[in-house]
Amino acid sequence: MTLPALDPLLHQPARTQLVAYLSARGETTFSELKRVLGVTDGNLGAHLSKLVEAGYVATSEMEHGRRSQTAYTLTPAGRIALNEYVARLSALMTLSVDGEVAGDASFPTDGHPVS
């Protein structure tokens, strides 16, 4: 039996949360993401860069009075990736309930290391 492969980019707790939040919230600033996820600037910046590189998240500049802010939105590709990730997780969970998957270590991730 072939286990459904998980997107390695999304298979990281902070990035999963980030993409899920963006999916529901819409356009969001760095400060808000930092507050909601409770991560450091560096950590959040690194995760966002990876998602932007993969085309899952798009950036735009917003004027906040005299200041300029970068706003982040989930792209259609990011939304599709999240939906697929959730579908595959659900499938894995069904298998897990049936006793075919033991735990996290056996999650297949398209052959890429999770970082």
Query: Least distance (Å) from another protein to the CB of residue 29?
Result: 5
Residue 96, classified by CB atoms within 10 Å of its CB into exposed (0-12), middle (13-18) or buried (19+), is middle
Residue 56 near another protein by CB under 8 A? no
Closest to another protein by CB, 2 vs 64, is 64
- C-alpha 107/C-alpha 11 separation (Å) is 9
Orientation angle between helical segments 13-25 and 30-37, nearest 10 degrees: 120
Task: Report 66-105 residues binding another protein (CB under 8 A).
Answer: 67, 69, 71, 82, 86, 89-90, 92-93, 96, 101, 103-104
Residue 109 near another protein by CB under 8 A? no
Residue 32 near another protein by CB under 8 A? yes
